[in-house]
Chains A and B, each alone.
Chain A
Amino acid sequence: MTASPARILVIDDEPQIRRFLSIALRAEGYDVGLAASGREGFEELASRGADAVVLDLGLPDMDGSEVLAEIRRWSQVPVLVLSVRTAEKEKVALLDAGANDYLTKPFGMQELAARLRALLRAPRGASDSPLYEDGHLRVDLARRDVSVQGRPISLSRKEFALLALLMAHSDKVVTQRQLLGELWGPSHVDDTHYLRIAVGKLRAKLGEDASRPRYIETRPGVGLLFRSHQGPVG
């Protein structure tokens, strides 16, 4: 890996937020870029690049979701969206539009730092590494082998497909509709109980405690997220 610190681009129109984020993120050891509008954000991202973007949805010049769509046209940089508390539908729409994660204002600095670490750590593209191994869970996507603490477990076709799909988007919230559409087909995108039952079984087989999940987290009303515990890909 590179020795230089990761660069975070903060796009937010509130000077106070920019100021405290810049101080706090620098203290965390990141290199921080700042932009006060969507346009500035594009320029900054295009000219100097970033390893992750923190995007506020309420920008003066354009809507946050437009900024997100614009970024996604040419970059796969992980984007963490900051929003005031909104309806779940809006969050789902953002995630479907390509956001990797979201955080509701007001948020704690610890929380933000943890999410950013996860985004930066996540290996991009599952096909690069068909093997997941963190000392507890081992998943060989190519050979469809899953084992927990060295003991192989057998997953049904749907359970494995669900796990694989979540792992393909490690540390990113995958919306319910997306999961249902890909696993059960477009006519079942509203049959959320399919998903709930499959997740329940998968969690049980992975030895997860649903109330303190280690791998598969629930975002009520929004979707699911696979939390990777694997070190940086080496």
Chain B
Amino acid sequence: MNDERRSRADALLGTIGAPGGGQLKVFLGAAPGVGKTFAMLSAARELTRQGVDVAVGLVETHGRQETASLLDGLDVLARRRIEHRGKSIDEMDLDALLARRPQLALVDELAHRNAPGSRHPFRYQDIEELLDAGIDVYTTLNIQHLESLNDLVRQLTGVRVNETVPDAFLDRARDLVLVDLPPRELIERLRQGKVYAPDLASSALQRFFSPANLTALRDLAVQQIGDRVDADLREQQTAHGHVQVPVRRRVLVAIDGREGSDFLVRAGRKVAERRGAPWTAVFVDTGSGDLQRQRRVDEAFALASRLGGDTQTLHGGNIANALLAYGRQVAVSALLIGRSRERPFARMLNRTLSQQLLRKGAHLELIILSSPAARARARRELVSATARPGLQHELVQAGIASLLAVLLAWLAERWFRLEDLSLVFMTAVVVVGSRSRQGVAVATAAVCFLAYNFLFTEPYHTFYVHAREDVLTIGLFLVAALICGRLASRLRQQVVALRSANAVGEALRRLNRDLAAAADETGVLRAGARALRDALGAEVICLVRSESGIGPRATWSEPPGLQLSEGSLAAATWAIDHQQPAGRFTDTLQGTPWWCLPMVVEERCLGAVALRLPETDRGSGAMREGLAGLLVQEVAQALARVRLVDALEASRIQGETERLRAALLASVSHDLRSPLSAIIGSAESLTRFDEQLSSADRGELAAAILAEGRRLDRYIQNLLDMTRLGHGGLKLERDWIGLDEILGEAVQRLQRLFPQVPVRLSLDPGLPLVYVHPALVEQALFNILENAARFSPKGEAVDVLVSVAAGQVRIDVIDRGPGIPEAERSRIFDFFYSVERGDRDRHGTGLGLTICQGMIGAHGGSVEALPGPHDTGTRIRVTLPLPEAPAHPETE
């Protein structure tokens, strides 16, 4: 539902002209042959039908008939021929495409490397140029061509893929569409020679297309799509290094029996659950015999069992080795460990557990988690690192440094010359200068000089400056102190600035990603509230200005269930009315704990965001305001966008409803009245002239009543079906069923109405089950059959062919009637066309086929009209996607 809404939203945005270049849509597949190009062309055809100007820049059909047939009727641009070393290579004509300026350009195989002599070395650069020119682009991509996955794919399949696309390019895509085909079927297609794999040597082909590889690639593709949707998932995958086989394998949670073991167990369960993977909590017993620790481990194990995980105690001297050995044994994909206590020496020697694991367990995904307590501690440390250490602290440091210098100099005095001793003091000055504020550094310089002068220069034990060199020494000391101090403080400022810039950038990036996925108001507010919570550590309430003017209405809070007090609500209302911040940190109503920021877009206030920052928050005001302001502004923009889309959608539906009403009224007055007048007339004649009528006439009149009655019934049935279909509001009750069963029922129904029309069924043996709403599909097929039967010449059969290909099942219904003129073929499914024509003339099909398309479309399938074989009659082709077969039941 959401997807549908989004794509509709996209289409609308497309029509009003999105700023900043064209939109990119990528059809992503796990391997060649899954039907990406097919899907792309189908989508483009649909858009063409809606009146979008589509041009085909370049599409490779690889001689596949079904794909080539989709190119019919699309504007295919001629290719450009490039001569290279005596060979001629056909490439996409970028300039022609830019000059043609379609709304949408189709460019196949995103990862393609252009022939030498082209404008850009890679096709994705061509596409970039198209997008920058404001042209929307549809393209296709196999997952193994994604740069970041290149190594992984080689690891998995042993095949190196040379043509890659940078991941950043994929980020430009507004939509990723996953074209999926179960591996079993792909291999079947491959065997039948239906798959053309250009960039793989034939010896590698066998290996590449093994079921295991395809499953893994498919997993990667699904993961790629999932990554863009599920923000949390991506966070957990930042540790993603070389996962040997990224399919659902066990997650290990290593606990050590210290504080936070419970937390690790819970976190591990979350990670495993999200991946649908089994998980085990492990403890490595190194034989320490610590009873309290053992007790904590037992508690954590009990918790793990309650949460559905396994538990395992390992024995061994080295924790990392024990974990890795166990990991190899049970096929583990990820290892979750707690952050070890900082032991500086171990860290220096690369001996901490995480370091050892990183080094030895490169094939594993390693997730290192801090317990909440450790995290709070780290946060405190971070704050103190960015804030200046106290003056006292620095003075003590400086004192110690000076003392050490005196001591060292005193020791060195016996072996070194006097001039060298000054270097010792200089070192102390530089060290202090680089770590302390300028005043302290200067003071240190003075102290060091005095000590040097007093203790080591002649005359000893006086402050008398004897020689010119000594004056120079003082000067140097002071200069060194000043320079170091300046450098150090600038460095510190840079670190602080970088850190906050990073935080702002990261928060914005994540917010934008989540906002892009949000399809409605709630989605936008939820994403915004989460981003604000994560970035500022604050509690967040989003308020939307109500149209009725009763004051704002809280629509989303993070954590959920928060309420504003009356005073705070007043602050929020003020913020909305005056389009200025209010509450805490401001001059207005500052007594409330909430800081209320208005969401303003183009001088209209849409609502406000109320933030309650932790009491301890003492971060810089400017940074906090900057970050919060930026995030709130983003949310406001996104909110305005979804509202605009909703408004456009509403007005479009309004317009369509009006048109529909007019069309239906016209149709009802004709299609209901004409059969009724025939029925009334015939029946009246029968009753009034009964005696005078011949039996043949009587029979004819009765037959007319019957036929017109049925026509009326069909018409009313169609109206009911239209209501049932609504406009997108259909609820599918899917169920497994055999197509032969559905077709059998539809054919039997048809035979009752048209006993004189023979129907020939031809089914592929071993048809898989379909997962559909049986009654709807049956009605849809019946409509097509009935249409075919009505137009069939006497004695000619209607043929029904069912076949399976490319993860789809195809049902062709072929009649030998007059056929449909080519110009009308695509229009017979159009609602208004059908309604306006009614079923009054020979070609008119009534609403039957429109309904059929609605019903099949609701299942993700398609219906199209094609000429019959040898150009006689009509072939209506229904295509339904096949789901993966369900688990095999026990039938014995």
List chain A positions with a Cβ less than 8 A from chain B.
85, 88-89, 106, 108, 110-111, 156-159, 176, 184, 191-201, 209-213, 217-221
Contacts and interface: CB of A to CB of B under 8 A. Distances in A.
The 7 closest A-B pairs by CB, nearest first: A220-B774, A193-B736, A210-B740, A211-B744, A194-B889, A218-B741, A221-B774
Contacts of A193: 736, 769, 886, 889
A211 to B, nearest CB: 4
B773 A221 contact: yes
Interface of B: 709, 713, 717, 720, 733, 735-738, 740-745, 747-748, 752, 761, 763, 769, 773-775, 777-778, 886, 888-892
A212 B775 contact: no
A211 B886 contact: no
A184 B773 CA distance: 22
A199 B741 CA distance: 10
B279 to A, nearest CB: 26
B733 A221 contact: yes
Contact of A210 (B744, B777, B889): B744
B743 A211 contact: yes
B737 A196 contact: yes
A218 B890 CA distance: 22
A212 B743 CA distance: 9
A212 B744 contact: yes
Contacts of A200: 738
B709 A106 contact: yes
B735 A192 contact: yes
B713 A106 contact: yes
Given A106-B709, A158-B891, A85 B717 contact: yes
B775 A213 contact: no
Contacts of B733: 88-89, 221
B741 A210 contact: yes
Contacts of A201: 891
A217 B778 CA distance: 14
B744 A213 contact: yes
Nearest to A218: B741
21 contacts: A88-B733, A156-B892, A158-B890, A184-B889, A192-B735, A192-B736, A193-B886, A193-B889, A194-B889, A195-B736, A197-B769, A197-B889, A198-B891, A211-B747, A212-B744, A212-B747, A218-B738, A218-B745, A220-B741, A220-B775, A221-B774
Given A193-B886, A200-B738, A108 B752 contact: yes
Given A196-B741, A198-B889, A210-B738, 6 more contacts: A85-B720, A158-B892, A193-B886, A194-B891, A195-B736, A221-B735
A116 B585 CA distance: 83
Contacts of A197: 769, 888-889, 891
B784 to A, nearest CB: 15
A156 B736 CA distance: 21
Nearest to B717: A85
Contacts of B741: 196, 199, 210-211, 218, 220
A213 B743 CA distance: 11
A196 B889 CA distance: 10
A201 B777 CA distance: 23
Contacts of A156: 891-892
Given A198-B889, A211-B763, A220 B742 contact: yes
A124 B747 CA distance: 30
Contacts of B886: 191, 193
Nearest to B710: A106
Contacts of A176: 735
Nearest to A216: B741
A201 B889 CA distance: 12
A184 B742 CA distance: 24
Contacts of A110: 752
- Among B713, B737, B763, the one with the most A-chain Cβ atoms within 10 Å of its Cβ is B737
B736 A219 contact: no
Given A106-B709, A218-B741, A220-B741, A191 B889 contact: yes
Contacts of A218: 737-738, 741-742, 744-745
- Among B737, B744, B891, the one with the most A-chain Cβ atoms within 10 Å of its Cβ is B891
Nearest to B763: A211
A196 B738 contact: yes
A184 to B, nearest CB: 7
A95 to B, nearest CB: 15
A221 B709 CA distance: 27
B771 to A, nearest CB: 8
A184 B777 CA distance: 27
Contacts of B892: 156-158
A218 B746 CA distance: 11
Contacts of A209: 744
- Among B720, B738, B763, B773, the one with the most A-chain Cβ atoms within 10 Å of its Cβ is B738
A211 B764 CA distance: 13
A218 B744 CA distance: 8
B140 to A, nearest CB: 32
A186 to B, nearest CB: 15
A106 B715 CA distance: 13
A88 B775 contact: yes
A212 B738 contact: no
Nearest to A224: B741
A199 B740 CA distance: 12
B656 to A, nearest CB: 26
A220 B745 contact: yes
B98 to A, nearest CB: 51
A191 B886 CA distance: 9
A201 B745 CA distance: 18
Contacts of B778: 220-221
- Among A88, A157, A211, A213, the one with the most B-chain Cβ atoms within 10 Å of its Cβ is A211
A32 B784 CA distance: 39
A159 B890 CA distance: 11
Nearest to B742: A220
Nearest to B741: A218
Contacts of B769: 193, 196-197
Contacts of B748: 212
- Among B717, B741, B745, B769, the one with the most A-chain Cβ atoms within 10 Å of its Cβ is B741
A210 B713 CA distance: 28
Nearest to A210: B740
A179 to B, nearest CB: 13
A85 B892 CA distance: 38
A193 B771 CA distance: 9
A159 B713 CA distance: 40
A209 B761 CA distance: 10
B783 to A, nearest CB: 14
Nearest to A111: B752
- Among A85, A89, A156, A220, the one with the most B-chain Cβ atoms within 10 Å of its Cβ is A220
A211 B774 CA distance: 15
Contacts of B720: 85
Contacts of B713: 106
Nearest to A84: B720
B686 to A, nearest CB: 14
A209 B740 CA distance: 8
Contacts of B752: 108, 110-111
A218 B740 CA distance: 10
B628 to A, nearest CB: 49
B892 to A, nearest CB: 5
Contacts of B773: 221
Nearest to A110: B752
Contacts of A211: 740-741, 743-744, 747, 761, 763
- Among A89, A159, A221, the one with the most B-chain Cβ atoms within 10 Å of its Cβ is A221
Contacts of B736: 192-193, 195-196
A88 B772 CA distance: 14
Nearest to A202: B891
Contacts of A212: 744, 747-748, 761
A217 B747 CA distance: 12
Contacts of B743: 211
Contacts of B775: 88, 220-221
Nearest to B771: A193
B735 to A, nearest CB: 5
